[in-house]
Structure 1
Amino acid sequence: MSIETGPPGDMLAAHPETAYFWGRVAADGECDDGCVTVRTSDETAARRLATIAGADATDRRIIERPYAHDTSITRQEEQYTVQVVGPLAERASGALGLPFDGESGGYRLDPLADHDRQLLRGLVEGCATVCFKSDDDAVGLSFVHADRGLLGTVQSLLDDLPVAAPYDEPSEASSGYWFGVDDDAVPTVGEWLYEGSESTGLFAPSRRRKLRKSIERVR
């Protein structure tokens, strides 16, 4: 059983917890005037994100979510929203280059680079799709986001990994842009991504479980 994380003393300082949190915000959240919002379909992850940021509660609802590559197809799923009210959003935008109040972001995530595993894990859980390809006996890992700039940031992180993570160039998708990691590299990248996560609690159990089960099928 994973431990629960506690709130760091400074949400903009480099900690494993802040790297994971801001990765999730960049991937599936926003910074608006007076509020940071982050979304997840995993209740445990929502609770941990709220704990990290000192949020009082999470909001749960059932939503119709379009598939990343074809917005004409939707599926119902639970969505949990964590909101942090106060000046943190504007501070995070200035320090980390996150989009603020609908404007484009610069994604200056270098201050969190010492915790690249947790940062990339947050990004994967927020805007990546994992699938088992039965025809190819392979695991697919693709990143999808409305902002191509964020995908460039993800690619820079992949370039610096201690394991090989080749990828293709971003292409247009119905919901923005996407790119995929080479299938042959996904098992090794996935194992590296969640190494040591059990002792920190910085992960969404449902997302980790899906990736690990997919990798087991091709090993």
Structure 2
Amino acid sequence: MSDAESATGFEVPSDPLAGHAATAYFWGHVAGSGDVTDDSIEVVTNDEESAHVLASIAGGNLEHDTTTRDYAHDTSITRTEDEYTLSIGCDGGESGEKEDGDLLGRSGALGLPVDSRGNYRFGAFSNYDRELLRGLLEGCGTICFKSKSGTVGISFVHDDRELLELARNLIAECPIETPVGDLSEASSGGYWFSVDDGAAPAFGTWLYENCEETGLFAPSRRRKLEKSLEQASAYGGDEA
């Protein structure tokens, strides 16, 4: 089967587990903010454009709602956000033909790429670590400006410790030297780690560099990064 062109203009491989920038970005989002069962996948994002990109990659039904949740590092703070949920069925039906809910026309159960011991297997995306990491950051990461220190903060928060270990390994292998902190328990449950403040500007810039060429990014998240970098520069705490 040949690759199909998505509504956003980039090509999508016929195999959802094939090595490709689009599938790497998609599975990063699924791992970061998705819910996978034997016959469906749900992935949640706060960015409308990113939600439509994910739907272009994998099909499915997209719903919009608003939600109020605790801030990951301080449960005394709440925030209300737009929430876009992409629901994808993995059953092609009796005919086996692609329906709106199918994942790239694939029938039967399809979960996260893991081995028999539950370890993540993202080796097919080894040439697309940047897109995979970008999907992970947008799925379970935060970007902020730290007013007390005048630095940019980038962190990852998730219930799955193994997923965060994977993210730490991916960051360690990226071409930008990026020290990260140890995994810690989050006050809201689960675990988190952060990129060292001194490395955050260069890492964040690399992560979103040339992303317009593929459209595989959340514009609101990139704007948050750019604004944080501008604030840090004006503060004088960073030179990035």
- TM exceeding 0.5: yes
- The aligned residue for residue 141 of structure 2 is 128
- The aligned residue for residue 12 of structure 1 is 17
- The aligned residue for residue 229 of structure 2 is 215
Higher helix proportion = 1
- The aligned residue for residue 182 of structure 2 is 169
Separation in structure 2 between the aligned mates of residue 46 and residue 17 of structure 1, nearest angstrom: 13
- The aligned residue for residue 114 of structure 2 is 97
Q: Report sequence identity in percent.
A: 50
Separation in structure 2 between the aligned mates of residue 21 and residue 208 of structure 1, nearest angstrom: 17
Separation in structure 2 between the aligned mates of residue 175 and residue 6 of structure 1, nearest angstrom: 38
CA RMSD between the two structures: 1.9
Secondary structure at 1:184's aligned position in 2?
Answer: coil
- The aligned residue for residue 184 of structure 1 is 198
- The aligned residue for residue 83 of structure 1 is 87
TM-score normalised to the size of structure 2? 0.82
In structure 1, list runs of 5 or more residues that go unmatched. Answer: none
Secondary structure at 2:110's aligned position in 1?
Answer: helix
Number of residues of Structure 1 aligned to a counterpart in Structure 2 = 210
Measured against aligned partners, the alpha-carbon deviations of 1:6-39 in whole angstroms (never above 9, x if no partner) come to 4322111010000000000000002112101110
TM-score normalised to the size of structure 1? 0.90
- The aligned residue for residue 107 of structure 1 is 120
In structure 2, list runs of 5 or more residues that go unmatched. Answer: 1-7, 92-102, 234-240
> Do the aligned residues in 2 keep the contact of 1:21 with 1:49 (CA within 8 Å)?
yes
Q: CA deviation at 1:43?
A: 0.6
Cα distance, 1:79–1:139 mapped onto 2, change above 3 Å: same
Are 1:48 and 2:67 counterparts? no
Q: CA deviation at 1:105?
A: 3.9
Separation in structure 2 between the aligned mates of residue 6 and residue 14 of structure 1, nearest angstrom: 12
By relative contact order (CA 8 Å, sep 6+), the higher-ranking structure is 1
> Do the aligned residues in 2 keep the contact of 1:18 with 1:52 (CA within 8 Å)?
yes
Separation in structure 1 between the aligned mates of residue 226 and residue 115 of structure 2, nearest angstrom: 30
Are 1:26 and 2:31 counterparts? yes
> Do the aligned residues in 2 keep the contact of 1:98 with 1:105 (CA within 8 Å)?
yes
- The aligned residue for residue 154 of structure 1 is 167
